[in-house]
Structure 1
Amino acid sequence: MSGQPSLFSRASAEIVDLHRFFVDWFVAARANKADFSRFERVMGDGFAMVAPDGQILDRDAVVDHVRTSRATCDDGFAISIEGIRPGWQDAETIVVFYVEAQLRGGKHSRRQSSAVFTTSSSAPNGVLWRHLHETWLQVPEG
C-alpha cells in the first residue's frame, strides 16, 4: 500500500471534487460539461443524508433532487469547502468533518457537515459516500 494516498486524503479530494461537480451541474452556463454519472457512481448503496432542516433523505431522493436541479443557478453560484478534518476511521471507513459555504442568488449560507466514506477501487477518488449529515451554521439570508 506504499505510495497510495491516505484514506483521509482520498475522502478530502472526493469532498472537493463532488462540490466542484455541483457548481458545474447547477450553474446554467456550465451544466453541459458536468458528468452526472460521476455523481451517481460515488453515491454508495444505502447512502442516506440528513439535510440541514433535519429531513432524512435516501439515496434515490438525493440523486433525483440533484438530477432535477440541473442548470437552476446563475453564474454567481459558488461553493467553498473549509476546515476539512478527519474523525473516526478504520482501514476501510472514515468520518470526515467540513464546512460547506455557499453563495446562491446573492445570499450566503454555511453548513457543518460530517460524511462517512468507505473505500472503493472503482470510485474516482477511491471512496464512496455512505452517509452525510448537514447542520445550518448560517441559514441563507433573506
Structure 2
Amino acid sequence: MSGEPSLFSRASAEVVDLHRFFVDWFVAERANAVDFTRFERVMGDGFVMVAPSGQILDRTAVVDHVRTSRASCDDGFAISIEDIRPGWQNADTIVVFYVEAQLRGGKHSRRQSSAVFTTSSSAPNGVEWRHLHETWLQVPER
C-alpha cells in the first residue's frame, strides 16, 4: 500500500469538488473568480451524460452547456451531495453513486446519480469523469 488515497476517496472528493465548482460558476456574484479549465480537465475523452430527462449528451454538449450557463443563477443557488457510496471498481475505474440535491430559484430538486471515473494523473483529484447518469428523485418544483 503506497499511502495514497483510495480510488473511492479520490472519486468522492471529485464529486464534491466539481459540484462546488458548479455553484461558483453558476452564481453570478462568484463566476468571475472561477477557472473554467478545471471543469474541462476532468471531463474525460468520450465522456457521456444521460440527463434526468433521458437525453444523451456527449462531452462537447456538456462542456458547451456549462460554459454558456456561467453566472446564470442568483446567490441562493446551492447544491449538496448526499449518500456517496462505491459501486463496482477495478484497479483504475470506479462507479460511484450519490444523490445531488439542488436549490435554484427557491425550488428544490433531487437526482440519483451514478458516475464512472478512471484514474488520471493530470486531474485535480486524480480521476476524470467518463460517464454520468442522472435520474429524478424529486423533479424541480414549479
Q: CA deviation at 1:132?
A: 0.0
Aligned to 1:114: 114
Question: How high is the sequence identity, in percent, across the aligned residues?
Answer: 89
Q: Which sections of structure 2, spanning at least 5 residues, go unmatched?
A: none
Aligned to 2:51: 51
Helix, strand or coil at the partner of 1:62: helix
Which residues of 2 match residues 1-142 of structure 1 at below 5 A? 1-142=1-142
Q: Counterparts of 1:4 and 1:13 in 2: how far apart (Å)?
A: 14
Q: CA deviation at 1:2?
A: 1.3
Q: Counterparts of 1:4 and 1:10 in 2: how far apart (Å)?
A: 9
Alignment RMSD: 0.5
Q: CA deviation at 1:122?
A: 0.8
Q: CA deviation at 1:26?
A: 0.1
Q: Counterparts of 1:115 and 1:90 in 2: how far apart (Å)?
A: 14
For residues 55-76 of structure 1, what are the alpha-carbon distances to aligned partners after superposition, in whole Å with 9 as ceiling and x for unaligned? 0000000000000000000000
Q: Counterparts of 1:132 and 1:95 in 2: how far apart (Å)?
A: 9
Q: CA deviation at 1:141?
A: 0.4
Q: Which sections of structure 1, spanning at least 5 residues, go unmatched?
A: none
Q: CA deviation at 1:34?
A: 1.1
Q: CA deviation at 1:87?
A: 0.1
For residues 28-70 of structure 1, what are the alpha-carbon distances to aligned partners after superposition, in whole Å with 9 as ceiling and x for unaligned? 0000111100000000000000000000000000000000000
Runs of 4+ in 1 over 3 A off after TM superposition: none
Q: Counterparts of 1:121 and 1:63 in 2: how far apart (Å)?
A: 21
Q: Counterparts of 2:8 and 2:33 in 1: how far apart (Å)?
A: 28
Q: Counterparts of 1:139 and 1:119 in 2: how far apart (Å)?
A: 32
- How many residue pairs align between the two structures? 142
Helix, strand or coil at the partner of 1:102: strand
Letter in structure 2 aligned against 1:35: D
Q: Counterparts of 1:46 and 1:121 in 2: how far apart (Å)?
A: 17
Q: Counterparts of 2:31 and 2:121 in 1: how far apart (Å)?
A: 27
